[in-house]
Amino acid sequence: MKLIIFGPPGSGKGTYSMRLRERYGLEKISTGDIFREEIKRGTDLGKKIENYLKEGKLVPDEIVIEVVKRKLEGLDNFILDGYPRTVEQAKVLDKIAKIDAIIKINAHKEILVEKISARRICSNPKCDGNYNIANIKKTIEGVEYILPPLLPKNDMKCDKCGSPLIQRDDDKPEVIEERLKVYEQQSKPVIEYYIKKGSVPFIEVWMNRPPEEVVENIVNAIEKLKVHFLNRNP
């Protein structure tokens, strides 16, 4: 199964795709995670892209495409998180893989800002611990959000490895605004590209409930679409 998970920064893509990886044995490919890892390790690629991430800007297509091409080689089961973010990236993906479905996550900007500002990650580069200190209960334009916090058991220490929790550099307020703006401007055409193409089904969900509920909705939709996948990939 080949999936894309698509949504604005802070919409829970990382969390949902981690759970879908476990559920379906998918390889999770997150370009953001790959880039952060390269930066932490101080590689040549890391040095080249560091400033784009710091400023919340998109890494140039030629760099992203090269990385994704290498990662996808020979993979049949994967979920792409954070790629494609431009039409050019989507066109390249068309040439290398037949995507079965796009999971599109919707959320209001106000909620995203609150959620991103409250995200805390483990400071241990080898650990993927991820938490959120916001407790959101509100309704916007008819969408009722009930998003309880995801707190560590011990005072701001990671449950998995005990390291202190920190805020991601690009989760700071000035950068959040820029990332949301970039999403609005550059990523919407990607959705339009797939709508026009017409051959990839969309699974649309709102990020308005705790991850287990949102993931259950996604899983139900995937199960319904599976007949379609089987016909395409006998």
Q: Are strands 119-122 and 130-132 parallel, antiparallel or unpaired?
A: antiparallel
Single out the residue of 5, 57, 88 nearest to residue 182, CA to CA.
Answer: 57
Residue choice 24, 52, 131, 229 for contact with ligand AMP (CB under 6 A)? 52
Contact 157, 193 (CB under 8 A): no
Phi-psi region of 74 (alpha: psi -120 to 50; beta: other; left: phi over 0): left
Strand 78-81 versus strand 2-6 pairing type: parallel
Which of 141, 139, 123, 121 lies closest to 131 in space, CA to CA? 121
For residue 119, indicate whether it is catalytic.
yes
Give me the catalytic one of 28, 85, 115, 120: 85
**Contact status: 8 vs ligand AMP (CB under 6 A):** no
Q: Does 13 participate in catalysis according to the annotation? A: yes
Task: Tell which phi-psi region holds residue 142, choosing left (phi > 0), alpha (psi between -120 and 50) or beta.
Answer: left
Distances (CA, A) of 115 to 19, 150, 202: 19, 11, 24
Active site residue 179: yes
Of positions 11, 31, 132, 208, contacts ligand AMP by CB under 6 A? 31
Please indicate whether residue 85 is annotated as part of the active site.
yes
Query: How many residues interact with ligand AMP (rule CB under 6 A)?
Result: 17
Active site residue 120: no
Q: Which stretch binds ligand AMP (CB under 6 A): 27-35, 97-105, 123-131, 222-230?
A: 27-35
- CA–CA separation, 179 and 171 (whole Å): 9
Asked if 145 is part of the footprint of ligand AMP (rule: CB under 6 A), the reply reads: no
What is the length of the chain?
A: 234
Taking the complex as a whole, how short is the minimal distance between the CB of residue 65 and ligand AMP, in angstroms?
9
Catalytic residue among 2, 13, 19, 36: 13
Taking CB under 6 A as the criterion, which residues in 63-92 touch ligand AMP? 64, 82-83, 85, 89
The nearer residue to ligand AMP, 56 or 152, going by C-beta atoms, is: 56
The answer to the question of residue 56 lying near ligand AMP (CB under 6 A) is yes
- Residues within the interface to ligand AMP (CB under 6 A): 9, 31-32, 35, 52-53, 56-59, 64, 82-83, 85, 89, 170, 179
Catalytic positions, please? 13, 85, 119, 168, 179
